[in-house]
Amino acid sequence: MKVRLIGLVIGLVIFGISKAFFVDSDEVGRFNDKLVDVTAGNPQDFDNYLVYLNQYEEGQKVDVSSMRRERDGLEQKIQGYLATINKTDIPDDDLCREFHASVLEYERNFLAISQKCNEQIEYIAAHNPGSAEDVETVDNMVLDLLVKSESLFESLKAKQRELAQKHDLTLQ
């Protein structure tokens, strides 16, 4: 009886240790999916705002108040994404924490872009319709952040591939 009891205790200890040191792949998969779902819409979220920039580039007069409303809605969406990401439970795994940090940095860059849009709008309001030089000035206001966004996205994808490889996840 003592041998069985000792064996049972040892088995429970080993099971407990394995649960403490190994992360469930399903949990990591759900974590990955949640973060991907949150970030998937970001570039498309700017589409309605870009309509106004395209009008400006074509030399048309832009409805600045509508552009502001669009930008405000955009910023609210991104802040919602950031709140969701911040509330997401992170599995106890270094790569999960790194992936989470990458997604957070990527989203924060989108927030910075949306905030830079305020500068664009103010400039457009003062130069509406704009000249070729005005269009270039407006485009350059966010250029660095757009380049950074591409770099952050590549970093995010690399972390996600590492995470998938470690936890045997299939990425689509």
**Residues 112-137: pLDDT tens digits?**
999 999 999 999 999 999 999 999 99
Residue 8 lies in a domain: no
DSSP assignment string, 82-108: HHHHHHSPPPS-HHHHHHHHHHHHHHH
Residue 4 lies in a domain: no
Structural domain of residue 100, as residue ranges? Answer: 24-167
pTM for this entry: 0.79
Residue 124 lies in a domain: yes
Q: How far apart are CA 122 and CA 124, in angstroms?
A: 5
Residue 6 lies in a domain: no
For 82-109, write each residue's pLDDT tens digit. 999 999 999 999 999 999 999 999 999 9
Provide the 8-state DSSP code for 19: H
Residue 64 lies in a domain: yes
Residue 2 lies in a domain: no
How many domains are contained in the chain? 1
